[in-house]
Amino acid sequence: MEQIISEGLAAMGLTGQVPESSPALLARYGSMMLEKNQVMNLTAIRESDQAARLHMLDSAALLRCADLQGGKTLIDVGTGAGLPGMALKILIPDLSVTLLDSLQKRLDWLDEVASTLDLSGVTTLHARAEEAGQDGSLREQFDFATARAVADLGLLCEMCLPFVKVGGRFLAMKGPECQEELDRAARAIPTLGGVLKGCYDYRIPHTDITHRVVVVEKVAPCPAKYPRRWAKMQKTPL
């Protein structure tokens, strides 16, 4: 796993931008994930080479379209197994990362990972995103928000943009065939104080898999009524 990650980072032109220890730490994280996956549902991936490519290198691709250096803050919404947030923390040690998830046992495991890998500046948050987004201590406090969830882009924007500072960015990890989602989100993004900055398509090294990062910049405060309750979001999307 470590060799695959190391070669992948090099292929993506990231070797000089991240610590030399990154491949080894990401491989250790991946191994912990696969081991825990035997007793907890963390990922559908079971093989170490696939975890290296489809989890670790996929997360690392965000560094090609966002500057996370310099003591930035990031919230990973619906973090699950910690992706991409924990992987980004390993790659950018001075990044302050908050991992938000609605399942406490996943967060307990992520706390264990952070402790085992001696990572400081990792906070786990047990909450629903639509409720946490109305918390004044979290609202518009982060330079970046990330989400790797399968929810529609418009819903993701309503859940994630409230966390982002004006001038910050939401990085949504999607498949390349998401134009219909982009079209549906065309009204939601400006309503929430955002503007679409563009899409970054990338191929995961040594695979034929292409993914996309949708980059939304926060240009104005999010109206106080957003995010709404999950049922309301689903029933009447913006």
> Which distant-in-sequence residues (6+ apart) come within 8 Å of 237 by Cβ?
152, 154, 155, 184, 188
- The whole-angstrom separation of Cα 19 and Cα 119 is 13
Q: Which among 66, 147, 144, 140 has a CA at the least distance from the CA of 101?
A: 147
Q: Residue 126, Cβ neighbours under 10 Å: how many? A: 15
- Which phi and psi angles does 231 have, rounded to 5°? -60, -40
Could you tell me if 66 and 215 are in contact, meaning their C-beta atoms sit under 8 angstroms apart?
Answer: yes
Rg for the chain, CA atoms, rounded: 17
Residue 176: the pLDDT is 87
The pLDDT tens digits along the chain (238 residues) read 999 999 999 999 999 899 999 999 999 999 999 999 999 999 999 999 999 999 999 999 999 999 999 999 999 999 999 999 999 999 999 999 999 999 999 999 999 999 999 999 999 999 999 999 999 999 999 999 999 977 899 999 999 999 999 999 999 999 888 999 999 999 999 999 999 999 999 999 999 999 999 999 999 999 999 999 999 999 999 9
- The whole-angstrom separation of Cα 127 and Cα 173 is 21
Give the pair of three-digit tokens for residue 40: 């907890």
Give the pair of three-digit tokens for residue 97: 């990362």
Residue 21: the pLDDT is 96
Instruction: Please name the residue that has the structure tokens 């990572």.
Output: 119
